[in-house]
Chains A and B, each alone.
Chain A
Amino acid sequence: MLVPISFALLALLALGGALMLLFRRDPVDGVLSLVVTMLALAGIYLQLADPVVAALQVIVYAGAIMVLFLFVTMFVRRAEERGPLGWDRPRFALASIVAACLLGLLVQAIGAFGGNTPTHPGPPAEIAAIAHSLFGEFLYPFELVSALLLVAMVGVVVLGRRGEESS
């Protein structure tokens, strides 16, 4: 009884945050609405009996990445950029195409579940089980992602150094 109600509340919260992100004028308000969405998603993970992923969602997304977003929006933003993005025609067309593609992908992904989307808690996930699948079954993709992040980090250092030399 309580599970569908709390799921509906969390889903509404997540959607509300996402809509606020789209329609608020101030970019900082937008980032803070995204925090609401992230926290609601963490609540949904918790409801699906996966406290590990819920906690990681809060630490990584609602914590670190949102702080990074806030930094970037505060530093990059200038006074004249305060309003919403202008809706000139090419930009609108491009945005529509990208949004339509994303929607198609999502519909296909949801359809692949065949109506069996889990909304009810299963047995709680053990951290050992997650570790075994991450460092056993999925070791190869895991290491590939690590290598990708390392390359990105080295790239950022190189770019930063280049700016230093020219100035």
Chain B
Amino acid sequence: MSELAQNLTLPGALLAGLSPGVAAMLVMFASCAAVLGVVALNGMFLVWWERKISAHIQSRVGPMTTGYWHGWLQSIADGVKLLLKENIIPLMADRWLFMLAPLVVFMSAFMAFVPIPWGEKLIVADLNVGVLYIAAITSLSAIGVIMAGWASNNKWSLYGGMRAAAQIVSYEIPVGLALVPALLASSTLSMQGIVEVQAGGIWNWNIFAGGPFTIVAFGALFLASLAEVNRAPFDLPEAESELVCGFHTEYSGMCFAFFFLAEYSEMFVVAVVASVLYLGGWHDPLGLGILPGPVVLMAKVLLLVFVQMWFRWTFPRLRVDQLMYLAWKVLTPLGFINVFGAAFWLILV
């Protein structure tokens, strides 16, 4: 967590008079608060944005009244409502697991924000295994989802939880294979290091580093990570038409809000990973370096998130067998081809 403090001069001046231990603790808390702020703002914005996008795709207008301008206060109003609602725990549910599950899911999404490079010197912690860390932390959400499904003591919840677990574990393999070509091209696992390799314009981005193989790998990463975060057309764990609401059927109030926030945070995180690994992170396409890093990164991430939402409101949901067919017989072999192809391309071309 120390990099942020070293790179920002203002906290540095404030912390100069304190003992190193206390200063480190304060920096840690400040970093956590900053990450939490980003997560909350991002969740509120994306919920409103998705409602507007879905509405326009379906020839509606979506929320219009709250806040007088295109319903921009709708998410805040919903958030206040969820805070004030009673948190219902079913009588036969496992109380502890039931309360813990949304926190586990939210924690896994929240902790994945730590190694995101927002700019040249703007990063909470540049871990030297950044990509591996994100893969590890996000895979923990499967445990939380199963806990939710199991603790609810409801057959629809259990079905949803099991589907989510099978899906997340299966799609981890294509996601991992789709990450490898970018790592080969940049020969580091640090998120900041991967961005630095891609400096100087769109032709230096990793998506073009391995010829056709990295382009296909980027597409495979985008598809497989949609399934990782349980988004349509891979939203079988909460398939409304079959499972009521899947693993979060029994949740209400803030516990439900945590699941909701986690979903939008995970969408954001997978878009960040794709942008950092293949689309140059905070470098702009022309290599000019005029715009601030966070603006460039946000533009790329929001574009990818927009495509995620566009997919959701365009494609029908897959069946379970189609989902597994796609993971094991299409994306996994394709991933192996991409890894070997990109490796040969990088050595020979």
Contacts and interface: CB of A to CB of B under 8 A. Distances in A.
Interface of A: 2, 28-29, 32, 35, 51-52, 54-56, 58-59, 62-64, 66-68, 70-71, 74, 124, 126-127
Interface size grouping (class) on chain B: 20 to 34
B169 interface: yes
Closest 3 CB pairs between A and B? Answer: A63-B139, A58-B136, A55-B132
Contacts of B150: 28, 70, 74
A76 B129 CA distance: 37
Contacts of A59: 132, 135-136, 139, 172
Contact of A55 (B136, B147, B162, B172): B136
B132 A63 contact: no
B129 A62 contact: no
Main secondary structure of the interface of B (DSSP, over half): helix
A58 B146 contact: no
A130 to B, nearest CB: 10
Interface in B101-152: 127-129, 132-133, 135-137, 139-140, 142-143, 146-147, 150
Nearest to A42: B136
Contacts of B133: 51, 55
A70 B161 CA distance: 11
A63 B136 contact: yes
A64 B139 contact: yes
A74 B166 CA distance: 13
Contacts of A67: 142-143, 146, 165, 168-169
B120 to A, nearest CB: 23
Nearest to A51: B129
A107 B133 CA distance: 33
A54 B137 CA distance: 11
A58 B139 contact: yes
B82 interface: no
Contact of B135 (A28, A54, A55, A71): A55
Nearest to B165: A67
Contact of B132 (A28, A56, A64, A74): A56
Interface in B152-171: 158, 162, 165-166, 168-169
A32 B147 contact: yes
B92 to A, nearest CB: 13
Given A51-B132, A71-B165, 18 more contacts: A29-B97, A54-B136, A55-B136, A56-B132, A58-B136, A58-B137, A59-B132, A62-B143, A63-B136, A63-B172, A66-B143, A67-B168, A68-B169, A70-B165, A74-B162, A126-B128, A127-B128, A127-B129
